[in-house]
Amino acid sequence: MREIEILHEVYSQTYDVMIDDASLRSDVEGFEALRGSYRLRREPSAYSVKLINNSWPGLEEKFEKLGFSVLAPNCFCEI
């Protein structure tokens, strides 16, 4: 798996933009109603990422720049 795929996989677990995209495309006229009733979504800072066997230099820093908390590989915390 490439680094960008890892970033995408984790980020898409916090917010799937394709759901909102499909809703908007199916009812463009209903934009205001859609905008007023978005699903609950949290900022990346509400999530923690635990990188195990990370072979990508700088990946931890990229997650932190996106706003995620990065846990140590040996952390036994509940996520």
pLDDT of residue 77: 57
Q: What is the CATH number of the domain that holds 16?
A: 3.30.1370
Tens digit of each residue's pLDDT (9 = 90 or more) over 40-63? 888 999 999 988 888 888 999 999
Total of domains in the chain = 1
Which range marks the domain in which residue 25 is found?
3-71
Q: Is residue 61 part of a domain?
A: yes
Q: Is residue 76 part of a domain?
A: no
Q: Is residue 9 part of a domain?
A: yes
Q: Is residue 40 part of a domain?
A: yes
Instruction: Give the count of beta carbons closer than 10 Å to the beta carbon of residue 64.
Output: 13
Q: Is residue 50 part of a domain?
A: yes
Tens digit of each residue's pLDDT (9 = 90 or more) over 6-45? 999 998 888 888 888 898 899 888 888 888 887 888 899 9
pTM (2 decimals)?
0.71
